[in-house]
Amino acid sequence: MSSTIVLYPIPAIGHLISMVELGKLILTTKPSLSIHILVATAPYNAGDTSSYIAAVSAAIPSITFHHLPPVSLPPHLSASSTHHETLIFELIRLNKPIVLQALRSISRNDTVHAVIMDFFCAETLTVPAQLNIPCFFFYTSPASSLAAFFYFPTLHRKSHQSFKDQNTLLDIPGLPPIPSSDMPKPILDRNEEAYQHFLDCISYFSESSGMIVNTFESLEPRAVKAISDGLCFPDGVTPPIHCIGPLIVTKERRGVVQPESLTWLDSQPSGSVVFLCFGSLGSFSAEQLREIAVGLERSGQRFLWVVRSPVNVAASGLPDPDLDSLLPGGFLERTRERGLVVKNWAPQVEVLKHDSVGGFVTHCGWNSVLEAVCAGVPMVAWPLYAEQRLNRVVLVEELKLALPMNESENGFVSANEVEKRVSELMDSESGDSLRRRALAMKNEAEAALKDGGSSRVALTKLTESWN
């Protein structure tokens, strides 16, 4: 019987790709292993991963994907009225017997040394436990937000108010002071289902064999130390923490023809372009898109901007944004000498590594942050969902890698704010300071992944524990 590891991601594109990349990384230290990946059917538009999965399957025969049959969610849960996180937790609960069946099936032919699950799958820990298989959780967000989650039960007991109503700074070990309203979106209201789901999650963390985190120690030293010292989880047992990052997708080119965005960047001066891109699920209202355009035009900076259809249009399935109707009249013509707007997608890793790019306006999704860190590019932090507001605080106050994009009460960002932050990032002493810090952290990231580096040592220790 061959030796195998089973991975169980949630279907959201950022989580699934990170988990597959973890599988590929494991194979670099343990090429004798085979890897089975259980793929659940998403209960909402979680981003299309089919071409990515097909490419991995074709390139790496030792990775096998198992597509789990779809399950029906209760009628009271709908993608339009419920937090995506609540839908995922319900999907995971309903999938437990299917996962047990899949593990039993895989175990008939292979020796399963470990199951690695996305942290959202926490309650599925009981399934590998039935089969006496060690279970690890993979945390796809920063150690900083893991510290906040470990400390969540303590914060829950300290106040009977929802985070959204507390209007205070939270003191969490290993983190700068966090405004209560910047806690992860699904737990802002303690009356929401997602709040209780996340609270329940934490109890399972203690029972795992360890937690694998997509970060590296020198990026988040205070958070990693606070977790490892047990300060974040005073009432429970903190599992071993394995920081194995930065784990990013390095090949994402679609087709053989060089995308227009890269060709255009080739013609721009070194470090002169600010890149604006907001993740696979990041959409704005038409009004907000116009405001970004006005701010960019006023800034006078060179820019490469990825635009998606507005939120209400994107939801209806219209694939391509109509730039002429969405952006201010004449904008594309007036800025064509120094700006490029592309629809829906650009090869983000390659763009960030391009010599012409000197700044990145990002939604603070952790995969995007790590890609910027690996490219040595400073950021403007404009969070949209999930734990991204907390990431912004950490990026600005703790890591000193970003400027904050400040919103109004209703979350709207003015053209003046866009102009101010883009100009500050690209053309000021504070922007230059961030740039120096970003380049230093790029070197730290490379060192962590080399032989003898912290992440390489952590990964080797982890895989050797499976013998």
Q: How high is the pLDDT of residue 252?
A: 54
**Domain edges within the chain:** 2-250+448-465, 260-446
Each residue of 364-391: pLDDT tens digit?
A: 999 999 999 999 999 999 999 999 999 9
Q: What is the mean pLDDT of residues 171-178?
A: 98
Q: Which residues pair with 39 in a beta bridge?
A: 67
* Domain 260-446 top-level CATH class: alpha beta
List, for residues 219-275, the tens digit of each pLDDT value: 999 999 999 999 999 988 999 999 999 999 876 555 568 999 999 999 999 999 999
pLDDT, tens digit (0-9, with 9 covering 90-100), for 288-323: 999 999 999 999 999 999 999 887 554 445 568 999
How far apart (Å, rounded) are the C-alpha atoms in residues 189 and 239? 28
Q: What is the pLDDT of residue 314?
A: 45
Residue 82 has pLDDT above 90, yes or no: no
339-343 and 302-307 strand pairing: parallel
pLDDT band at 77 (very low <50, low <70, confident <90, very high): confident
pTM of the model: 0.95
The tokens describing 234, both together, are 């005073």
- The closest alpha carbon to 248, from 146, 372, 143, 399, belongs to 372
The half-sphere exposure of 298 on its side-chain side, counting CA atoms within 13 A, is 17
Domains 2-250+448-465 and 260-446 share a fold: yes
Those residues whose C-beta lies under 8 Å from the C-beta of residue 178, and which sit 6 or more positions away, are 148, 169, 170, 172, 390, 393
Rounded-to-integer distance, Cα 69 and Cα 48, Å: 17
**CA atoms of 215 and 140, how far apart (whole Å):** 9
| Chain segment 126-174, per-residue pLDDT in tens | 999 999 999 999 999 999 999 999 999 999 999 999 999 999 999 999 9
User: What is the topology classification, in CATH, of domain 2-250+448-465?
Assistant: Rossmann fold (3.40.50)
- pLDDT for the residue 254: 56
Q: What local confidence, expressed as pLDDT, does residue 316 receive?
A: 46
Quick check: 9 pLDDT over 90?
yes
Counting residues of the chain whose pLDDT is more than 90, the rounded percentage is: 86
Residue 218: both structure tokens together: 């020198």
Burial 101-131 (b: 16+ CB within 10 A, else e): ebbeebeeebebbbbbbbbbbbbbbebbeee
**If you average pLDDT over residues 353-360, what whole number do you get?**
98
- For β-strands 63-67 and 34-39, DSSP reports them as parallel
**Cβ–Cβ under 8 Å, residues 11 and 38:** no
pLDDT digits (tens, 9 = 90+) for 197-215: 999 999 999 999 999 999 9
Distances (CA, A) of 423 to 245, 297, 402: 31, 11, 13
CB 454 within 8 A of CB 246: no
For the chain, what percentages of helix, strand and coil (3-state, to nearest 5) are there? 45, 15, 40
| Cβ atoms 216, 246 nearer than 8 A | yes
* 395 close to 381: Cβ distance less than 8 angstroms: yes
Residue 315 is predicted with a pLDDT of: 46
Q: What is the rounded CA–CA span in Å between residue 264 and residue 352?
A: 14
Q: Are 239 and 206 in contact (CB under 8 A)?
A: yes
What are residue 361's DSSP bridge partners? 276, 380
What value does the mean pLDDT take over residues 430-440? 98
- Residue 200: how many CB atoms within 10 A of its CB? 12
pLDDT one-digit tens code per residue, 90-115: 999 999 999 999 999 999 999 999 99
Q: Could you count the other beta carbons within 10 Å of the beta carbon of residue 342?
A: 17
List Cβ neighbours of 143 (8 Å cut-off, separation of 6 or more).
174, 213, 215, 220, 223, 224, 227, 241, 243
